[in-house]
Structure 1
Amino acid sequence: MAGTVVFDLDGTLADTSGDLIAAANACFQARGLGPLLDPVEDALIAFHGGRAMLRAGYGRLPADRLLPPGAEDEDYPRLLVHYGKAIAVHTRLYPGTEAALEQLAAAGHRLAVCTNKPAALAETLLRQLGIRDRFAAMIGADTLPVRKPDPRPYAAAVEAAGGTVARSFLVGDTETDRKTAAAAGVRVALVAFGPEGEALRRLAPEAMLAHFDDLPGLAADWLA
């Protein structure tokens, strides 16, 4: 019997860190600060959102170059503009993503995305990656008045895909996804191929995914 599989986007379906870091660095460079974040070493920061990247960069400034308190509010809209103009330059789907989505759909499962990325940017990215048509629903950070880990965006994604929360589970890559699943009363599979890797086991997810090849079998088990 088919069910619904809900995916996070950044760090789960695709490694978006390079383009996110580039957008933050564009904001820093516009202030004459240079690239304050490294696309490899700071990949994990990128998956915590635009404001987290800005705060991390500002936090590396010497005491004599600290920015005024309103810098984050000024730069965040600029970051989104930079990101929207170059959203899929370095971004790549994780290995096995497309094959797993195809197998899940062939098994009759409904697919949805629930992300804390602004909805318009998420839609653009999914289209540029060529996988938007795989998903029956997409809920972004601003689709509802609340975002993950509140369970309502997750429930909205499941219901918009035509499924029921009771016959669904979440695939994610962060503590936010773990908390979302717990709040929604569903199981979560966290990916071991993102920046945190096996360290996510500390969150005690119901499953860890070493590769997307393992997802169709997990769905068959959990949604049987």
Structure 2
Amino acid sequence: MRTVVFDLDGTLADTGHDLIAAANRCFSGLGHGDLLDPEYDKSTAFRGGRAMLKLGFERLNGVADSAEIDAQFPIFLEAYAADIDRYTVLYPGMADAVESLLKSGYQTAICTNKPEALAEVLMTNLGVRGLFGALIGADTLPVRKPDPAPYNEAVSRVGGSLKKSLLVGDTSTDRQTARAAGVASVLVTFGPDGRGVADLSPEALLDHYDDLGDVVQRLIG
């Protein structure tokens, strides 16, 4: 069974503003105000909560103490869960493109480094959870991307064939995951890194979800 697996943040939805807001809640709680910018720091947001906290503390102190990051991470998760979709939007054409894949006989799944429960809530709130047969989060397995195990599990849960699958993502983590799993990667160019993701040498670039069907057909039939 042909399967298309998607990353979430920066691939299916633009979640950057809400992620940055949650990180800034941590810094404000410590009396430092907002240290991160929703637009300028969006690429860091798509690399996860710890990456945002690290960046903020580096701006504040020149270095980031791992213990300080560990202490703030649960606070970040709580703040994000409390206001998970205030600004988040699906990328244009995403839902229609995934529905088209399903109608063409493909299986679809999500493999994200966002905690599974948060990913489930977000996709449900955005009204698109039903488009994906499985969702693997950062804590579904003992390991996360770029380890290939979460990707393999996503394919397995929808009854897919690894050899007839690919990963759609937006960062080097997704590129590394696909390489480790031995599958093709498609990197979107509408994220904060733009066409700079071409430097990661994916098998294909995706400029708009209108082109997804053609790209998938070319890579896995």
Q: Taking structure 2 as the reference length, what is the TM-score of the superposition?
A: 0.97
2:58–2:64 contact (8 Å) kept in structure 1: no
- Confirm whether residue 185 of structure 1 aligns to residue 182 of structure 2: yes
* 5+ long unaligned stretches in structure 1: none
Which amino acid letter does the alignment assign opposite residue 26 of structure 2? C
| CA distance, structure 2, for counterparts of residue 60 and residue 178 of structure 1 | 28
Matched with 2:26 is 27
Deviation sequence 1:143-200 (CA, Å, 0-9, x none): 0011111111100000101111011000000001001001111000000000101001
- Confirm whether residue 216 of structure 1 aligns to residue 187 of structure 2: no
Structure 1 residues 75 and 182: CA distance shift in structure 2, 3 A = same
Q: Secondary structure at the match of 1:5?
A: strand
Shift of 1:69: 5.5
* 5+ long unaligned stretches in structure 2: none
Aligned length: 221
- Confirm whether residue 199 of structure 1 aligns to residue 196 of structure 2: yes
| CA distance, structure 2, for counterparts of residue 42 and residue 97 of structure 1 | 23
2:54–2:64 contact (8 Å) kept in structure 1: no
- Give runs of aligned pairs for residues 124-135 of structure 1, distance below 5 A: 124-135=121-132
2:109–2:155 contact (8 Å) kept in structure 1: yes
Q: Secondary structure at the match of 2:99?
A: helix
Matched with 1:98 is 95
Q: Secondary structure at the match of 1:188?
A: strand
Q: Secondary structure at the match of 1:222?
A: helix
2:110–2:135 contact (8 Å) kept in structure 1: yes
Deviation sequence 1:19-56 (CA, Å, 0-9, x none): 00000000100111000000011101101110110111
- Give runs of aligned pairs for residues 137-152 of structure 1, distance below 5 A: 137-152=134-149
Shift of 1:70: 2.5
Backbone CA RMSD of aligned residues? 1.3
2:18–2:87 contact (8 Å) kept in structure 1: yes
| CA distance, structure 1, for counterparts of residue 95 and residue 156 of structure 2 | 23
- Confirm whether residue 109 of structure 1 aligns to residue 113 of structure 2: no
Deviation sequence 1:56-90 (CA, Å, 0-9, x none): 11111157xx8876221111000000000111001
Following TM superposition, the consecutive aligned residue runs of length 4 or more in structure 1 with deviations greater than 3 angstroms are: 66-69
Identity %: 54
